[in-house]
Amino acid sequence: DIQMTQSPSFLSASVGDRVTINCKASQNINKYLDWYQQKLGEAPKLLIYNTNSLHTAIPSRFSGSGSGTDFTLTISSLQPEDVATYFCFQHNSGWTFGGGTKLELK
Amino acid sequence: EVQLVESGGGLVQPGRSLKLSCVASGFTFSNYGMNWIRQAPGKGLEWVAYISSGSSYIYYAETVKGRFTISRDNAKNTLYLQMTSLRSEDTALYYCARRGVTWFAYWGQGTLVTVSS
């Protein structure tokens, strides 16, 4: 089974900061990596699919990059409404979520 | 607007059964594959099961294989998850999610299953 390791587990940043969250796969997953945002008490929401494609109505400050085993979610300028937990998810071989990164405001 | 509404959760004793439902609206249900995903309290996400649009393809996580059955009724726009031989580790919020540009493009709000004596 493919394991997905996210880092950091917790992240504190200020409004306007550039934020990066990393996700590492235990083996090559090509481009099949998605990112989800889950706000407290809400269902997860798809942000980015297949490494770098922005889902419908997602602000352009969110972007994704990477290939193979190493992937990154970037928020170019952190906004208060971005406080959430972020999960990566691979669907190249089976389906596996990362452990999550909790993003808080400093 | 895509809407998915789960129901059927509750408190159940270990070893017993429970059936979850997910009613879909705002799209042509019969055109899309559907999933169940769960989240234990305070924990991460775990994909549970998938069913294709016409029920031809069905997949399960190893943790539930042989105990859970996913099914759908396209005439009723409804997805189901029949859960048997429930264990404490099955305690979670269960979400249904629709395929789209990727596997879980749209999610419901979830229904809570608590397995406890």
Q: What is the mean pLDDT of residues A57-86?
A: 97
CA neighbours closer than 13 Å in the CB half-sphere of residue B64 = 25
Q: Which residue does chain A place closest to B110, by CA atoms? A: A43
Which chain A residues are within 8 Å of B47, Cβ to Cβ? 95-97
pLDDT in the model for residue A67: 94
Q: Give the Cβ contact number of residue A28 at 10 Å.
A: 12
pLDDT in the model for residue B101: 86
Chain B residues within 8 Å of chain A (Cβ atoms):
44-47, 50, 95, 100-110
Cβ A49–B107 below 8 Å, yes or no? Answer: no
pLDDT in the model for residue B100: 85
Q: How many percent of chain A have pLDDT more than 70?
A: 100
Q: What is the mean pLDDT of residues A32-50?
A: 95
How far apart, in whole angstroms, are the C-alpha atoms of residue A94 and residue B60? 10
Residue B34 CA to chain centroid, in angstroms?
8
How far apart, in whole angstroms, are the C-alpha atoms of residue A17 and residue A25? 26
**Is there a contact between A100 and A87 (Cβ–Cβ < 8 Å)?**
yes
Characterize the bridge pairing of strands B111-115 and B92-98: antiparallel
How far apart, in whole angstroms, are the C-alpha atoms of residue B11 and residue B111? 11
The neighbouring-strand residues paired with A97 are A89
| CA dist B110 → A43, A77, A100, A104 (Å) | 7, 31, 19, 24
Q: Average per-residue pLDDT in chain A? A: 96
The list of chain B residues with pLDDT below 70 reads: none
The model's confidence at residue A8, banded by pLDDT at 50, 70 and 90, is: very high
